[in-house]
Amino acid sequence: MRTRSRLAVVVLGLVTACVSSGRVKGLEQRLVELEDREVQRQLEVNGTLLRIDAQLAALAANVGRLGDLGVEAVVEKLAELQGQVERLAAARPTPPARRAVPDPKQVYAVTVVGAPTQGSLDALVTVVRAGEYACPFCEKTRDTMDQLLADYGGNLRVVHKDFIVHPTTATAAAHAACAAHRQGRFWEMDALLWDKAFKTRQFEPAHLETLATEAGLELDRFRADVAGACPTAIHDEMAELSAIGVGATPAFFVNGRFLSGAQPVTVFKTLIDEELALAQARVKKGTKRKRYYEEWVVQKGLTRLAPALPPPP
C-alpha cells in the first residue's frame, strides 16, 4: 500500500539517523500510532473499492437489459457510484511534503577552520561529521571514524560539527564539548561525554561539570564559556549546516559531498577513495596540498541547498 510505503521510507531513514525534532516534531513517539492508523484507513479504502467494483460488475451485467432496468435507474445508479468515488478520493490522506536533502553529487562548502579535528591538517580528504551527544547513531560511528583514520593515515582528517536534534538532552553536552575545545581538550571531553553521559543518560549540568574536572578543565572558565561563547558558536554551526540541508544526525560531508547516517565503513571508503584520487590528480596539476580543502571545497562548494532531487518513482 502506498501510504505504508511512505511510512516505511521514514522508518528506514530513522534506522541510520536521528531526525531533527524541529522538522518532524513528535515523529519518534507517534510513528507506530500513525502507521496503524494509516493501515486501518487503507483497509477501509480497499474495502470500499471492492464494494464499488462489485457494484460496477453487477451493473455491467445488466447493461444488456437496459430496457428492463430503465435508463433513469441506470443514471441514478451511476450518480450514486460517482458520489462514492468522490467521497473516497476526499478521504485519502495527503502525502507528506518531501524534505529537501543535500545532493550527494554536489560539493558543499562546509567550513572547518577552528573546529575540533583529528588527523593531519593537510590531509587530502576531510570528513566532516555533524552530530550530537544524545544520538545513538552518532555514537555508532565512533569506531568507524577511528578505523578510517587508521586506514588512511595522513590522507584523512575527521572534523566535528555540532547539530542538535534532541535539544532537551543534547544541548548542555554540546556546550560542554565546546567549552572543552576552547581549552584545547575537546577529544578528552568528547570521550567522557560518550562513555559517562550518553551511556548513563546523565546530561545534567552538575554531572557535566564533574566530567569537565575529569578532563582537566579549569572549571570557572568552563562555566563562563558554557554560559557565554558556546551557545552562540553552536547556533552558528547549526545555521551553516541547516542552510545546506542537514536535518538529521549523523550527517557527513566527505570533501563536501553528503553522506547520511551510520553507514558501513565500506560505504565511507568508496566515497573517500573517489575523493582521494581526485585530490591527488589536482595536486599533481599544481594545487597545494595544504590548500586543497579551502580551494576546492570551501571556495567552490555550495553554501545553500541545491535544487531538491526529484521524488523516487
Positions in the chain short of pLDDT 70: 1-16, 19-75, 77-78, 81, 84-99, 306-313
- CA 128 to chain CA centroid, Å, is 14
> What residue segments make up the domains of the chain, in order of their start?
24-91, 117-298
> What single letter denotes the amino acid at residue 91?
A
| pLDDT at residue 11, as a whole number | 47
- Do the Cβ atoms of 237 and 177 come closer than 8 Å? no
- Classify domain 117-298 at the CATH superfamily level: Glutaredoxin (3.40.30.10)
* pTM as predicted: 0.71
Contact in structure between 276 and 258 (CB atoms under 8 Å): no
Return the pLDDT at 1. Answer: 47
Longest dimension (CA), the chain: 97
Compute the distance between CA of residue 235 and CA of residue 37 in angstroms, rounded to an integer.
37
Count helices and strands in the chain by DSSP H and E runs: 12, 7
CA distance 103 to 247: 13
Buried (b) or exposed (e) across 30-67, using 16+ Cβ within 10 A? Answer: eeeeebeebeeebeebeeeeeeeeeeeeeeeeeeeeee
- Report the alpha-carbon distance of residue 230 to residue 222 in Å, rounded: 10
Amino acid at 227: A
Other beta carbons less than 10 A from residue 128's beta carbon: 25
Cα–Cα nearest to 219, from 244, 211, 144, 65? 211
Task: Return the beta strands (E) in the chain as ranges.
Answer: 18-19, 117-119, 125-131, 156-162, 248-249, 251-254, 257-260
Q: What is the pLDDT of residues 215-244, one digit of tens each?
A: 999 999 999 999 999 999 999 999 999 999
Q: From the centroid of its chain, how far is CA 47? A: 37
* pLDDT, position 204: 97
Residue 167 grid cell: 535539544
Cell triple for 68: 428492463
Residue 209 CB neighbours (<10 A): 16
Give the model's pLDDT for residue 33: 55
The predicted structure's pLDDT at residue 171: 97
Percent of the chain exceeding pLDDT 70 equals 68
> What are the Cα distances from residue 123, in Å, to 120, 165, 205, 289?
5, 30, 36, 8
Question: Which residues face 119 on adjacent strands?
Answer: 157
Cβ neighbours, 10 Å, residue 181: 20
238 Cβ contact partners less than 8 Å away, ≥ 6 residues apart: 162, 163, 164
Give residue 17's pLDDT.
78
Element (H, E) at 292: helix 292-293
Distance CA 204, CA 172 (A): 8
